[in-house]
Amino acid sequence: MTEVASVSVTPFAPVNFAFDDLKAKMNRFTIRFDKWTQNQRARVLKERNDFAKAITESRGNKFLFVDSTDAAKRARKTSTNK
């Protein structure tokens, strides 16, 4: 003979996660982060080009300087080809 224990199920209180508020905050963060990332990429490219220019002037050689828009286009092409 098996005995079945009676199980009392108590309902959980409704939880409000405020998904709309969280979604709005995440969207604002994403916009700010994308702008920051774009600015940092442009800053790094400028610093790299300035450094290459200084080396070029000191050596008398010519180097190819990269435009930030060209680098972004190449990055998009290589990321979609993988």
Total Cβ atoms within 10 A of residue 42: 14
Quick: pLDDT tens for 15-70. 777 888 999 999 999 999 999 999 999 999 999 999 999 988 888 755 555 565 66
- The mean per-residue pLDDT over the stretch 71-80 comes to 61
Ranges of each domain in the chain: 40-73
pLDDT at 82: 46
- How many angstroms separate the most distant Cα atoms in the chain? 97
- pLDDT above 70 for 9: yes
pLDDT at 11: 83
CB 66 within 8 A of CB 47: no
